[in-house]
Amino acid sequence: MVSSMRKSEQMALVPCEAVRNLSAELQESRTRWEVQKQRCEEATLLLQQVTQEEEKVRAVVDYARLKVLKQVKAQQEIVKHNASRSKFDEALICALQENIQLKKQELRRHQQLRWRGPATAGERAHHRQQAAQAQEAMAELQHRQRVVREELQMMIEDAHGAAQRVEDAKAYVEVLEAQRAPTLATLGARKQCQQQAVHKEQVLEQTLREQQCKLQEEHTRGFAVCTRARLLRRAQLPEKALAGSRRAAHVAKFINMDWCVTSAAAEPGRQISLGVAEFLQSPEGQVLQNTNIAGDCLFWFETRRGLPGRYIILSRQLLHDITGPKVKRPPPQLNFFELLRSSLGDPQFTDVVLVPEAPHFHEKALGLDCLKNLEVPTCLKDKLRPYQVAGFRWLACLAHNGLGAVLADDMGLGKTLQSIALLIYMKEQGLLRDERGQLRPALVVVPPGLLRNWQAEFAKWAPQLNFFVYHGPQRALPPFHAAGYDIILTTYEMVRNDRRKLCDVDIISFSAMIIDEAQRIKNHNILVTKAVKEVGNIIGHTRIALSGTPIENKVDELHSIFDFANFGYLGDQVSFSRTFSRIIEKGRDPEQRKESLDLLYRLTRPFQMRRLKTDENILPDLPKKIELAANVGLTPEPGGP
């Protein structure tokens, strides 16, 4: 069976055509992009430097041109002002010329009057005085005319000088532009070349960026569906372990424990486990040995056309683990309960790989895949309802494994009848044997109020079962280990009082144990609970707890009942309280409470069956409700009228 499993796994691992180290490609792409980004920044910086040099040269020319423009504007203002002054001076000269002419005429008139005919001395003096004054005024006007002419000449010369300075400034700007033209041309060419270089670097950077984004997307997508190759413990369930007796202790002995490495299978989303030697010969193993891997690397293994590839994470630590001394010794053997918890998703066993995979592992190990093959005892075949048949088969399957169960059906659904059917089946199949294989009776423990009811049920449904009632002050166990009896029926109080006698294998031993109203042992610390568990642990297997209310107040009550049915399966009380009770009852994190509840449900589901009267698949099998109305007359009160 093991060899066939390994062969099928090897067939599932499709040979690869090409291998890509996506992590290395992504890192290399990031490095190239960062280098290119640096080059782009350097090219941009160089372009900025060339642009700044060009701007400096242009600034010198622009400054000179601006200065010339200011000078031209200033000279134009001066010329404009001088032009206005010259017009005024010309008008003034004309006015002075007219005044001079008038003064000449006046002087000429006074001279004529002085030389005209006889005149008095006073008149002659007056004319001389007027002629002198006219002479002085004319001289003053002529002087002023010369001054105005000189000022006009100076303004004309200033205008010519300003025009010359403007021309000189323009010539300087032209010379400066001519001197800077080669430099500007060179800088312009450099700037254009650098702009082209920057554009080229930016295009290349964008291309590398897009490549990096594509690789990042592929890397993220690969991580979502990849398998991490890890060195794990592997538990393989051989077919021979399921042949014959299904006692859990026997099955656990046949479990093959070895080291394996998880790897991606051909079907997407699945993984397989390969032995260390097989993995080293696989494509993944070859890559791991021949590639320099640092940390965790995501690889893509390309397969032949038409077949899906696979993503897998390989690490240097994995190579160190599978080539180290650890794998030279087989991993520690797991007991049956640990294997079941691993199959049911217990997080403390995440390093265990099961073959077959969960949930097929625990279904095959417990025989749950063969429930329909279990036949109901002939005497009850027509008496059990369909849901009771399902309950019987489930109990019988666990009894074959020597495992306990908690039948938690609602009140009135026939837990007693299903238990009796199990006892009949165990007798017919020869399962009423103790740990040493000797035929021994089953111990049935019930509350005192149900003792007669169980006797009546045995007499009604299983007359072929010989039962002995162990109860009362004159009680005594049948001799010779209760030879000839199939059932020992007793009460919780008798177990509490006589637990030493019931635990003495030299006096009596049992093949199975059934307790009714199992909530009687919900408290770990009371004497009844301790006595029932002590007797149950001596029996060692096939312990059935019947209770319509396995949890009345606290989650710890379920642990106490399971501690009887399958001792140690849910751990001790302290670890159970830490993992489940405190979180479920007092935890403030809803997500953590949900996870704890889900885990508890998964772990208890194989060993606990609970059906309610309101279940849709139960209602059709139940008889119709009969309601009887009884009218009762009231009696008069004592002393009344």
Residue 471 predicted with pLDDT over 60: yes
Q: What is the CATH number of domain 29-208?
A: 1.10.287.1700
From CA 330, how far away is CA 324, in angstroms rounded?
13
Residues above pLDDT 70, as percent of the chain: 88
Q: What is the pLDDT of residue 457?
A: 92
Question: From CA 39, how far away is CA 135, in angstroms rounded?
Answer: 95
pLDDT value of position 81: 75
Q: Which two tokens stand for residue 126?
A: 């007056």
Return the CATH number of the domain spanning residue range 368-618.
3.40.50.10810
Question: Tell me: the pLDDT tens digits for 251-272?
Answer: 777 788 888 888 765 555 566 7
Q: What is the pTM of this model?
A: 0.67
531-569 pLDDT, tens digit each? 999 998 888 678 999 998 888 888 888 999 999 998 888
For 35-79, the pLDDT digits (tens) are 999 999 998 999 899 889 888 888 888 888 788 788 778 877 777
C-alpha span between 301 and 16 (Å, rounded): 6
What are the structural domain ranges in the chain?
A: 29-208, 228-361, 368-618
Instruction: Give one DSSP letter per residue of 164-213, joined into a string.
Output: HHHHHHHHHHHHHHHHHHHHHHHHHHHHHHHHHHHHHHHHHHHHHHHHHH
SS (H, E, C) 388-403: HHHHHHHHHHHHHCCC
What tokens does 181 get? 């033209």
Rg of the chain, C-alpha, whole Å: 58
DSSP reduced 3-state for 314: strand
Distance CA 372, CA 386 (A): 12
Looking at the chain, the whole-number percentage of residues with pLDDT higher than 90 is 16
Distance set, CA 412 to CA 258, 388, 390, 553, 613 (Å): 48, 12, 16, 22, 8
- 348: pLDDT confidence band, cut at 50, 70 and 90? confident
pLDDT category at 7 given cuts 50, 70, 90 is: very low
List, for residues 114-168, the tens digit of each pLDDT value.
666 555 677 767 767 777 777 777 777 777 777 777 877 787 777 787 778 778 8
CA 553 and chain centroid, separation: 37
